[in-house]
Amino acid sequence: MRLYLQKKLRAYIQWCYDDDDSPNEIQFLLDFRFMNEDEVTLVPTDYYRVD
């Protein structure tokens, strides 16, 4: 098992839109590609409602 010390973690935001093209939910994608592992790259979070 390898342990990594990472001071910063990139996170991307993915917007989900309604039928009227207004954003209603967002999802964060956490970027774990610094670990150089094939199994772990971008990890999605749950969807969060935006009012």
Consecutive sets of 10 residues in the chain, 51 residues long: mean pLDDT of each? 77 89 90 83 89 76
The pLDDT score that the predictor gives to residue 1 is: 65
- Quote the CA–CA distance of 49 and 51 in Å, as a whole number: 6
Q: Is the pTM of this model over 0.85?
A: no
Question: Nearest Cα to 26, choosing from 5, 48, 6, 1?
Answer: 48
* pLDDT at position 14: 92
Tokens representing residue 49 in the block:
């409602």
Six-digit token string for 18: 């309604």
